[in-house]
Amino acid sequence: MRCDTCGKEVTDVRRVVVDTGYDRALAKPLYNCPECFKKKEETKKLRQKDKTGKAHSDDA
Ligand SMILES: [Zn+2]
């Protein structure tokens, strides 16, 4: 199988659903190698942190 993000041919791919954040119908399933999957997860986490962190940091 091929990773949809880096195009590398890998035996182990994971299905990643790209969540646009506002419309689930636009979410697009992708196949990612473990490396890209990890990167995506980290980006997701950072984004969530940013979202929740902003509301609080404005108070300070
Ligand atoms: Zn990849």
In the reported structure, the alpha carbon of residue 2 is separated from the centroid of ligand 1 by a whole-number distance in angstroms of 8
Specify the pLDDT at position 58.
Answer: 61
In the reported structure, the alpha carbon of residue 9 is separated from the centroid of ligand 1 by a whole-number distance in angstroms of 8
pTM here is 0.60
Specify the pLDDT at position 2.
Answer: 93
Q: What does the alpha-carbon distance between residue 19 and residue 13 come to, in Å, rounded to a whole number?
A: 18
Per-domain residue ranges of the chain:
14-54
3-state secondary structure of 51: helix
Mean pLDDT by 10 residues, the chain (60 residues): 93 79 71 92 81 61
Sign of CA dihedral 9, 15, 19, 20: positive
Q: Are 33 and 6 in contact (CB under 8 A)?
A: yes
Amino acid at 1: M
Specify the pLDDT at position 18.
Answer: 67
In the reported structure, the alpha carbon of residue 39 is separated from the centroid of ligand 1 by a whole-number distance in angstroms of 9
User: Which stretches of 1-60 are assigned E, i.e. beta strand?
Assistant: 14-18, 28-32
